[in-house]
Structure 1
Amino acid sequence: MLDNRRGPAAKLGRWLGLVLLVVSSTLWAAAPINTLKRGFISDSDTGIAINGYDTVAYFTEHKPVKGDPSHSFTWMGAKWQFASQAHLDLFKATPEKYAPQYGGYCAYGVARGYLVTVEPEQFTVVDDKLYLNYDAAVQKKWKADPAGFNKTADAQFPLLLKK
C-alpha cells in the first residue's frame, strides 16, 4: 500500500533518507584508497606510511625528509610521520591534499596495470599532487609523459583495487 502522508514525520523521513544518501555517496566517492593491501603502508610490520617520510615535506621542502615518530598521525590505516608539528597540523587539516596519488603505489606501475611499491626518494609533485615511483629508472619513464600515464592510471587504479 502506498503511503501518501505529508505530515512532519513523513518530511523528516524523507530528509533523513536524503542525508543518508549524501553521506554514503560522499564516503563512496572518497574511495578508492587501498587500505586492504599495502598501499600507503610501506612497512607492513609497523604500518608506517611511505617508509616514515614526511609527505608534507615533498610540497614544502621539495625534497624527501624523514619524519619523526613523535609527530605521527594515523589516517587510512597507516601511521604517517612528520618532521615537525606544523607539517602534522597541515596533514591533519587536509590529508587528501598531501597523500600520494594511487594509494602510495608507483604511478607508472598503476598506469601499466600493477600495484608496485615505491622508493620514497623517487617523487614528483605535479599540479599539487604527489606521485611516487618504484625507482629512478621507472621515474625517468614516468616523467616522459606524466599527463598521459596519469590519465591511464586514473582509469586503472579503481580496477586494480578490486583484484
Structure 2
Amino acid sequence: MALSSENVVFLRRLAAKQNAYVAISIAIIRQFGRSDMSFERSGIHASRDLPQVTATPDRPSRPGVIPQPKGNPMSRKLTLAAATLAALCAFGPAMAADEVNVVPGLTAAGAPLGLHGADPVALLDQGTNVEGVAAQTAIHDGVSYYFASEANRMTFEANPARYVVQNGGFCTFGVSVNKKFDGDPNFAAVVNDKLYVFLSEEIYQAFLKDKDGTIAKAAENWKSIQHTAATDL
C-alpha cells in the first residue's frame, strides 16, 4: 500500500523543519510501501546493530532477529507508521500546506527552495533580481534561500524577518483576491521596505494601479488563507 500524494507532501513539509526529519520520513515511506524492512538496504547490520534475543524453548537464539508479533501484517505496518508520525510531530510544529511558495523537492540543505532561488537581499536592498547559488544557502522557517554572495547571506541571517518576501512568496495581487498564484521574482516591488512578488507583468501592472489597496487586501486575506492549500482556494 503506497502513501497518498497528500501524505508525501505532508512528510516533506515536516522534513523541512529539521534535517533529521528527512531520513525518518523516507523510512516511513519505504516501510509503508513494502512488506518487509530490509535491514541491509537501510544500513543496519543485524549482527552488530540489533539486540541479541535471549533463547527460550519456543524461541531459539539468533543474533539480530526480533520476534514478530502475531496479527495482520498490514495492521502492524499501519501502527508503525502512526507511531513514527507521532514521534515526528513531537519534534516540533509542521509547516501546513502551501504556507510558503517553494520549488518542488528539497535542496541539499534539506529544505525546499523559496523565491525561485533569487537572492532576497539583492531584491530588497539593491532592487535587482539576482540568482543565488547553493553554496550560499540560509534556512529560515523551514525554507532554503539562495544568495549571490556570502555578504548577502550574512545580511539575511542577521535579520531574516526583514528580507523574507511577503504573503509567503505568493503573488500579492492573487492573495488580495483570495488566491495563491505563483510569485515570480522577475516581477517584484519594494513598498515600505517590504518585498512583494507577482505572477506576471500584466498582474504587476494591475497592482501598480492601486498598490496600497492591493497590499492591504492581501495582508487581511493572508490571515485566513495562509494555512490553506493553493488547490483548495
Q: Percent identity?
A: 24
Instruction: Return the TM-score normalized by structure 2.
Output: 0.53
> Counterpart in 2 of 1:93?
158
User: Do 2:101 and 2:115's aligned partners in 1 also have CA atoms closer than 8 Å?
Assistant: yes
Aligned: 1:157 with 2:222 = yes
> Counterpart in 1 of 2:198?
133
User: Do 1:71 and 1:88's aligned partners in 2 also have CA atoms closer than 8 Å?
Assistant: yes
Q: Which of residues 104, 114, 122 is equivalent to 2:169?
A: 104
Residues 12-49 of structure 1: CA deviation (Å, up to 9, x unaligned): xxxxxxxxxxxxxxxxxxxxxx9423344431213111
> Counterpart in 1 of 2:114?
49
Mark the structure with the bigger radius of gyration.
Answer: 2
> Counterpart in 2 of 1:63?
128
Aligned residues between the structures: 130
Instruction: State the superposition RMSD in angstroms.
Output: 1.5
Which structure is higher in strand share?
A: 1
Unaligned runs of 5+ in 1: 1-33
User: Do 1:39 and 1:105's aligned partners in 2 also have CA atoms closer than 8 Å?
Assistant: no
The alpha-carbon deviation at position 56 of structure 1 amounts to 0.4
Instruction: Return the TM-score normalized by structure 1.
Output: 0.75
The alpha-carbon deviation at position 111 of structure 1 amounts to 0.4
User: Do 2:98 and 2:227's aligned partners in 1 also have CA atoms closer than 8 Å?
Assistant: no
Residues 39-85 of structure 1: CA deviation (Å, up to 9, x unaligned): 44431213111111100001232110000111001111111000011
Please tell me the residue identity of whatever aligns with 1:80.
Y
Please tell me the residue identity of whatever aligns with 1:62.
G
Runs of 4+ in 1 over 2 A off after TM superposition: 34-42
Please tell me the residue identity of whatever aligns with 2:217.
T
More moved, 113-122 vs 123-132? 113-122
**Separation in structure 1 between the aligned mates of residue 143 and residue 227 of structure 2, nearest angstrom:** 20
User: Do 2:98 and 2:226's aligned partners in 1 also have CA atoms closer than 8 Å?
Assistant: no
**Separation in structure 2 between the aligned mates of residue 69 and residue 40 of structure 1, nearest angstrom:** 19
**Separation in structure 2 between the aligned mates of residue 141 and residue 37 of structure 1, nearest angstrom:** 28
Aligned: 1:37 with 2:97 = yes
Change (3 A) 1:54 1:40: farther
Unaligned runs of 5+ in 2: 1-93, 107-111, 229-233
User: Do 1:67 and 1:82's aligned partners in 2 also have CA atoms closer than 8 Å?
Assistant: yes
> Counterpart in 1 of 2:210?
145
